[in-house]
Amino acid sequence: MTTRAHGVLLFVLIAAMLAGCGERRTPPAGPAVALRAENLTVSPSTGPVTHVLVRNPGAETYRGTVTATFPDGWKMNTTCQDVTVRPGETARLAFAIERGADSASNTYPVHLKAVSADGTEVTRAQTIVCASAPYFKPTIDGQTDDWKDAIAVTFATGGRKTVVGTYWSRRSLSLLVAVEEDALTPLPEQGGGGACDAVQIAVSPRDAKTPASSSGVAQRYEFLLAATPAGGRCFALMRPGERLSAAAKERPLAGLELADAQTEVVRRDGVTYYECAIPMKAIPRIRPDPGREFCFSVLVHDPGGTGLRDWGEAAGLWPWQRSRLAWCAWQGATWPDNPPFDNKVEWGFCSSKH
């Protein structure tokens, strides 16, 4: 054996001895988890159950403890829970509010912490809201008088506010979206081109999913509210059972108008108000009952200002929950390079704001 070969063999033997009798290296940290606090679907003063999602994106089972800190003065049945989450799965942990208080701003800070069995810590700070529609049937006239008892959900994009309010009755789902923007660009005359302002909404059952392939079928109802030369209009973009391949097509809106919807779009003092009542018969998979949870989300198209505003982003959805199949394209829309977030954000029906 050559001198060089002896040296290599000696090095290997020494390395093996050190590995066997020296200080062991700390094993690699376990798989990280993603945390998200869901929005409330009834007011916290009523003592509801709220939920925290724990997602395991790793290849190994996650075992740890999740702690949730809620606003000062709230009393919870527990603030800490053990959790085991298999790879690729999401655990939904329930925390009951035994004593809560409603906030005038409808914002509630929540701090989440997960500590794995090996001590790896993951934290997330969030601000959640009560995302719920009280029972009431407003007059759709472009005025805001009827909306004082709605539970306002406010989020900001590029320093400009969007405020969403909803009501429900046995006959309709009503909404008012107030968009702070520099100007309102309506849909052009038929045959015209150019970008325009609009509000796009999606409604679906609580257990609905967005398929990962365009060959799948939609599980949502999707609508577009816009100003036209003839007044406010509501267009039906998607219904459950339709192929998602249609979502990627920039379809003209002609022929998609929802005839039974009542829609007004008005502008006052730097704010555009989109007010609409969608008949419940247009969304038959959403049962109008108090306490009913469903999914609801909003996109605001403001191409001349902030660009696309996305409630899914403001609601804290995870980065990988963006999907080009979650929202329909349409002629007149402009889209950023990154697709919008999924349209499955928790919402609910309640009997009253109070």
Give the per-residue pLDDT at 193. 61
Strands (E), the chain: 34-37, 49-55, 62-69, 75-76, 80-85, 90-99, 108-116, 121-128, 132-133, 153-157, 160-168, 172-180, 198-205, 221-228, 231-238, 262-268, 271-279, 293-302, 307-310, 346-349
Q: What is the mean pLDDT of residues 326-336?
A: 95
| Least confident stretch, 192-201, 231-240, 256-265, 301-310 | 192-201
| Least confident stretch, 19-28, 91-100, 142-151, 203-212 | 19-28
- The residues spanned by each domain of the chain are 34-128, 132-349
Q: Are 163 and 181 in contact (CB under 8 A)?
A: no
Give the per-residue pLDDT at 190. 63
Is pLDDT at 144 greater than 80 in this prediction? Answer: yes
Is pLDDT at 13 greater than 60 in this prediction? Answer: no
- Percent pLDDT > 90 in the chain is 86
Is pLDDT at 224 greater than 60 in this prediction? Answer: yes
The whole-model pTM stands at: 0.89
Quick check: do 34-128 and 132-349 share a fold?
A: yes
According to CATH, the topology of domain 34-128 is Immunoglobulin-like (2.60.40)
Give the per-residue pLDDT at 189. 73
Q: What is the mean pLDDT of residues 58-67?
A: 96
Tell me yes or no: is domain 132-349 CATH 3.30.590.10: no
Q: State pLDDT tens for residues 126-137.
A: 999 999 999 999
